[in-house]
């Protein structure tokens, strides 16, 4: 297969409809922690 080198990820983020939360995180343990914190913050907004 052909490697897109992350371009596919960038395009999927750029094509998100307005109002859809989008975030990027680094790969590895620090990225996992950042993603978890983001998810918690997002879920706290739900009544």
pLDDT tens across 1-24, in order? Answer: 566 777 887 888 888 898 887 888
Write down the pLDDT at residue 37. Answer: 96
Say if 38 falls within a structural domain.
yes
Residue 35 domain boundaries:
7-44
CB distance 3 to 12 below 8 Å: no
Residue 42 has pLDDT above 80, yes or no: yes
Say if 2 falls within a structural domain.
no
User: Does the predicted model carry a pTM greater than 0.75?
Assistant: no
Sequence-ordered list of residues with C-beta below 8 angstroms from that of 35, at least 6 positions apart, any chain: 23, 25
For the record, the structure tokens of 8 come out as 């596919």
**Sign of the alpha-carbon torsion through 29, 33, 36, 42:** negative
Say if 16 falls within a structural domain.
yes
Number of domains, the chain: 1
């Amino acid at each position: 297969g052909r490697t897109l080198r992350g371009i596919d990820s960038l395009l999927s983020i750029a094509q998100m409809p307005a109002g859809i939360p989008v975030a990027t995180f680094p790969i590895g343990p620090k990225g996992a922690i950042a993603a978890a914190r983001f998810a918690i913050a997002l879920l706290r907004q739900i009544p």
